């Protein structure tokens, strides 16, 4: 509840719905960060799909379960994102990518935004209650970890905020799996770890691109506090941490293992290749774009391989 986060905050300008002309609907989509909701639903669906597949359950016989899970997950993620906007409305005016949010421009009343946030979380929880208790608990843990440990506590205080926020961003595939099987197979935790380790290099690259904005807002992101050289080293370390994780998904077979390994090596190779530009921002941009493609290909491939 993607820092991808993934409830990915991911406060990702490339995922958020930034619109030049305001309407009530566009303001709503901006408040809930519709791009972030959609990206998290991809990982939620993958967890759900794999749980159905490996438990021998028919997809079409469980359309109601799928509906409850995706709607419930989407709503609690949307609610958490809207609450994040409410909490951050004091620092958002200081950053170019967030200064047009409805909570900053005044087109959305802060009190109403807070009320909407809790309403979405409550309705989403009710939908998840139609699945399993485990899915409800995991969903609420994700919301809590995004709002309290990340947004309220660590985001403005500690350079480790990205890692702390990565916990909530890794929750969606667990929700999807738990909605089918509350026992949470090892595969479910492997999906969680992939999402957890993916987020720091993704957001460190983003933070490098937006370093001056974070500096102006007083948010202690890694490149602001430690500089680009240290940030690059941390990106490589987190990408390296992804290398063994596909081996915890042997049920997906050798083709997936090869693809995932190539994606991981390709991420590192992209960083090495991009050094030739001798431009830190261009380097960060390439790494950021690769991270987005990486996540999409990885999780879509998991679904496709089970269809073959």
Question: Looking at the predicted structure, is the pLDDT value of residue 8 above 50?
Answer: no
Give the CATH number, domain containing residue 264. Answer: 1.10.600
- State which residues form the domain around 61: 24-307
Confidence of residue 22 (pLDDT cuts 50, 70, 90): confident
Question: Looking at the predicted structure, is the pLDDT value of residue 144 above 90?
Answer: yes
Q: How far apart are CA 122 and CA 72, in angstroms?
A: 9
Question: Looking at the predicted structure, is the pLDDT value of residue 258 above 80?
Answer: yes
Q: Has residue 10 been placed in a domain?
A: no
User: Which range has the worst mean pLDDT, 84-93, 172-181, 189-198?
Assistant: 84-93
Predicted local distance difference test score (pLDDT) of residue 21: 62
Q: Has residue 18 been placed in a domain?
A: no
Q: Has residue 247 been placed in a domain?
A: yes
Query: What percent of the chain is helix, strand and coil (3-state, nearest 5)?
Result: 75, 0, 25
Q: Has residue 16 been placed in a domain?
A: no
Q: Has residue 106 been placed in a domain?
A: yes
pLDDT > 90 in the chain, percent: 87
- Overall number of domains in the chain: 1
Q: Has residue 19 been placed in a domain?
A: no
Q: Has residue 52 been placed in a domain?
A: yes
The residues, any chain, with a CB within 8 Å of residue 8's CB and separated by 6 or more, are 1, 2, 15, 36, 39, 40, 168, 169, 172, 199
Question: Looking at the predicted structure, is the pLDDT value of residue 122 above 90?
Answer: yes
**Each residue of 154-179: pLDDT tens digit?**
999 999 999 999 999 999 999 999 99
CB 108 within 8 A of CB 31: yes
Question: Looking at the predicted structure, is the pLDDT value of residue 100 above 60?
Answer: yes
Q: Has residue 83 been placed in a domain?
A: yes
- Residue 218 has which token pair? 């007083």
């Amino acid at each position: 509840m993607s820092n991808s986060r993934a409830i990915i905050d991911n406060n990702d300008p490339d995922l958020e719905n930034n619109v030049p002309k305001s309407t009530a609907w566009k303001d709503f989509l901006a408040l809930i960060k519709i791009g972030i909701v959609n990206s998290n639903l991809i990982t939620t669906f993958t967890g759900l799909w794999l749980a159905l597949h490996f438990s021998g359950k028919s997809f079409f016989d469980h359309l109601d379960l799928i509906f409850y899970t995706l709607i419930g997950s989407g709503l609690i993620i949307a609610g958490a994102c809207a609450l994040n906007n409410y909490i951050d409305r004091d620092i958002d005016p200081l950053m170019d990518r967030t200064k047009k949010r409805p909570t900053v421009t005044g087109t959305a009343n802060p009190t109403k935004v807070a009320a909407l946030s809790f309403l979405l979380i409550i309705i989403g929880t009710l939908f998840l209650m139609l699945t399993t208790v485990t899915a409800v608990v995991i969903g609420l843990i994700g919301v809590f970890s995004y709002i309290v440990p990340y947004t309220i506590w660590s985001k403005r205080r500690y350079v480790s905020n990205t890692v702390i926020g990565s916990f909530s961003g890794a929750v969606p595939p667990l929700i999807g799996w738990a909605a089918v099987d509350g026992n949470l197979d090892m595969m479910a935790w492997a999906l969680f770890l992939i999402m957890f380790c993916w987020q720091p290099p993704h957001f460190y690259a983003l933070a490098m691109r937006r370093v001056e904005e974070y500096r102006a807002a007083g948010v202690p992101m890694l490149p602001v506090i430690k500089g680009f050289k240290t940030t690059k080293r941390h990106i490589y370390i987190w990408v390296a941490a992804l290398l063994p994780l596909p081996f915890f998904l042997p049920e997906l077979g050798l083709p997936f293992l090869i693809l995932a390994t190539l994606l991981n090596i390709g991420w590192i190779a992209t960083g090495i290749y991009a050094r030739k530009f001798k431009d830190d921002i261009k380097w960060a941009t390439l790494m950021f774009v690769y991270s987005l493609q990486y996540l999409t290909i990885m999780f879509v491939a998991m679904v496709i391989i089970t269809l073959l």
